[in-house]
Amino acid sequence: MNRSSRQGATVASIRKAIQQGLDRPESPAPSVSLSSRTANTAPDLFEQANVNFTEKKWLWVPHEKEGYIAGYVVSEDGNDMVTVHLMTGRDVAVNINVTERVNPPKFEKVEDMADLGYLNEASVMHNLKQRYASNMIYTYSGLFLVAVNPYYNLQIYGSDYVAAYKNKKRTEVPPHIFSIADAAFHDMLHSKENQSILITGESGAGKTENTKK
């Protein structure tokens, strides 16, 4: 197999491999051409609720423990108060000014949170949580890449993955630290100037591991 055909196969399968080829450290590292693994994906918000999004007005309601819980308005009670049926099964009365709008289903697990129709804290946290539960630890937020530390080794690195991200536009492959590195390398060659990548986060966020990759 020549080099160009091998790269083509790698790029064609990288998205599925990122989502499906994730294992605990004791498992063998999968090839990016792997296509038969069963994806561990989190159900979409509206699949869980078994409710048609267009039939209801959905809101994020603040919650002391969970941060936010999604629900739909069952009545508008005046003075900015509404009754919301939460996905937990409870009905709560809440001031609509403390709620946030829920995005339509097409935005579930979106790769770039700048694309969200309603860009609010609740929607950002929900998107990161859903992607994390589906083994997608990298998510773009405009020019930035957000990484959520899984606290175990994922087999989504190595030479095959490096080759898959080489000379690829950001929209052609799933979010990954390799995409950021390749973009910086490309800009360095094009501009003939040094490039910097800022990696920041709290202790244990995964800064060192991402730098080493």
Asked whether the beta carbons of 18 and 174 are under 8 A apart, the reply is yes
Q: Where are the beta strands (DSSP E) in the chain?
A: 58-63, 67-78, 81-86, 91-95, 100-101, 138-141, 144-147
The pLDDT, as a whole number, for residue 163 is 92
pLDDT by residue (tens digit) across 139-193?
999 999 999 998 888 888 989 999 999 999 999 999 999 999 999 999 999 999 9
**pTM summary value:** 0.78
Asked whether the beta carbons of 127 and 109 are under 8 A apart, the reply is yes
Asked whether the beta carbons of 37 and 150 are under 8 A apart, the reply is no
Q: Which of the pair, 106 or 30, is modelled with greater confidence? A: 106
Asked whether the beta carbons of 135 and 19 are under 8 A apart, the reply is yes
The pLDDT, as a whole number, for residue 213 is 77
Q: What percentage of the chain exceeds 70 in pLDDT?
A: 77
Q: Return d(Cα 109, Cα 25) in angstroms, integer.
A: 25
Residue 77 has pLDDT above 60, yes or no: yes
C-alpha gyration radius of the chain: 20
Q: By C-alpha distance, which of 199, 103, 107 is closest to 146?
A: 199
The pLDDT, as a whole number, for residue 61 is 97
The pLDDT, as a whole number, for residue 212 is 82
Residue with tokens 């501009």, as numbered in its chain: 191
What rounded mean pLDDT belongs to the chain? 82
pLDDT by residue (tens digit) across 89-121?
999 999 999 999 999 999 999 999 999 999 999
Buried b / exposed e along 55-79 (16+ C-beta atoms within 10 A): ebebbbbeeeeeebbbbbbeeeeee
